[in-house]
Amino acid sequence: MSLTQADMAFARELFENIPDLTTRRMFGGMGIYCGSQIFALQLSDGRVMLKAAKGPFADRMKALGGEEWTYTRKNGAAASMPYWTLPDAYLDDPEEACALAREAMAALG
């Protein structure tokens, strides 16, 4: 599956108040950047995910109802990536989504 133009437009509009916002197609999805720093992904199924390494911000994402990106490796082992789904309430509120994205970037250093 690959993102539609409408999916990509939605993510760009959601984060349009992030300075120096750029996007790049990757692996059927899209990387979302502030300058050269990737802070979010949009997966090929349309889910928007914020980058959150282990620690306080990842804990906050979990408390807000976000889910960590997990997948199964070829050998059957479970693995996870440092990205969390953007909670549904934030998908309807660009101002809050951008505020949470700024928190993600601050946590990344």
What digits encode the pLDDT tens for the residues 86-109?
999 999 999 999 999 999 999 998
Q: Band of the pLDDT at 15, cuts 50, 70, 90? A: very high
Cβ atoms of residues 91 and 11 within 8 Å: no
CATH value at residue 96: 3.30.1460.30
pLDDT higher than 90, residue 2:
no
How wide is the angle at C-alpha 7 spanned by C-alphas 106 and 46, nearest 5°? 70
Q: What is the pLDDT of residues 42-51, one digit of tens each?
A: 999 999 999 9
**What is the rounded end-to-end Cα distance, in angstroms, of the chain?**
33
Domains in the chain: how many in total?
Answer: 1
Domain extent for 74: 5-108
